[in-house]
Structure 1
Amino acid sequence: MLGDLNLLASYIMQKIQITSLIGNTLRNNPHMALSALLFITGICFLNSKFSMISGALFGAGASLLGAWVTEINKRRTDTEDKKRRESDARKYLAPELKRTIDRALFIHQRAVANFSMASSEYTGHQFSELNDLQKDFIPYMPSLYPNSPQFQNLSGDDATTLVFYYDSLHALDKGVIDWWNREGQLPVNIFLCILTLVDEALTLAESCIKNFDLENLYPPKYESHPTLSSKVETSKKIQKMYERFISKDVKKNSLGKKHSLTSRLKGRAARLVVL
């Protein structure tokens, strides 16, 4: 009994799925639905006293069927053309995208080095001037985006990814100009600000590398050389490594200063007792 119920339920579900599929097909292809209706009506009238209109119904059905086929072909052509234009747009915008990412990588590496060196005051290490200039931290800005017609051909996801990334470069550019040599601001804070901004830019750049297929468009010159994604990943790992080292050294240096101060206070107390 239970098996029969399961078979009945399965049969009903199949019928529902078929009906739903037919309904969706008819909704998406109204020409085909109307054409089928005209053919069926013509067949019904074929052996009746209204058989004279069957030919007209068949002709109208054939016309609608032809229109449906034309529409299907147009949809396919439009879809292929849209994909082609999107692909061409990505290739067109890829060179300057890679150029800006390469520059962001350079800025990130210099920001890590300068932040590490500026932190030496708090880590107990010797400070050394790196002689980087403000212009060394200015990102390259795009010249084609956003006015290029090809930008309009990008898919929504690709365009959004590009907008967020280039906006982050504008934020980096403004941050460098606003923070550089700001009166009363410590160098460690300046380079921390730059490092934070360029790190955000590289995070967004990773999505651009994937969406615009930069790995395949610009493969490494030699197999031993890293890919663009690997360069970004490595640079971010180095940043985290330096941040851990700096954090440990700051704590160690703070404890050392505290211990030194405690020793001096104890020494003074001992001298007072002797006196």
Structure 2
Amino acid sequence: MMNQTQFDKVKNGKGFIAALDQSGGSTPKALANYGVPEDAYSNEDEMFDLIHQMRTRIITSPAFDGKYILGAILFEQTMDRQIEGLYTAEYLAEKKGVVPFLKVDKGLANLENGVQLMKPIPDLDATLRRANEHHIFGTKMRSVIKEANPEGIKAVVDQQFELAKQILAAGLVPIIEPEVDIHSADKEKCEELLKTELLNHLNQLSENDNVMLKLTIPTVPNVYKELVEHPRVVRVVALSGGYSRDEANQKLKENDGIIASFSRALTGELNANQTDEEFNAALEKAVKSIYDASVNKN
């Protein structure tokens, strides 16, 4: 079950968490950004083969290093595939010293009360069993908040913690991700409401239950200080949310104790047509700048 060495690394290590978990709907966009157009594949199987090639190239790159990267969040299919003869999570842990996480949500429901809850996850128990077989450390699940609607925000956090309890019971550490849309007209108010709801739920956890939080970088720096310091929170990580890497890094530096868990800001400058030398240099530049923003605060 819980790997104490991995737990200590995630809780106390210097570095950030790489989000490599774009799934079904966002895969064509991720591939297009990587320089692979939609006419390069003719069906979903070929598309997923190509995204696995991209992820394999990232993970096997010398720039993808456990010295800088504490953990990586995988898409379910990536967990079931192999890199150099090892399943991806095992490869990360054994060859890179990177702690593997698994995205478990099935995408977002339609907008209601200013938020998007997660779609139902009917087979969560079976997924968690498979995650344990692959020595996955934790999970991630995302909802989205667009408006400062107290009822909607409460529903988001209630749903996240209800599923988190199921994940904790399976011996995994859940990353709870209630993303506040960076374009929300009342982002700051959303963040105040969200913080209150999160604290209410965190205060009800037993002392054996530990969760992580993945949050949009807040409008007011250090507004999440109480969450960072909460005894039930292993780590607070930030999503890039559509900010450019420079902007995300700059905003992150203003928040003590929060580290990055970037996706687009990490892989945005990588391209299928780059030579290995160019690819590794671009990835190294991204990794080092995100690491720097995670560990060196203003």
Q: TM-score, normalised by structure 2?
A: 0.20
- After TM superposition, the score normalised by the length of structure 1 is 0.22
Which one has a bigger Cα radius of gyration?
1
Higher strand share: 2
Q: Which has the higher helix share?
A: 1
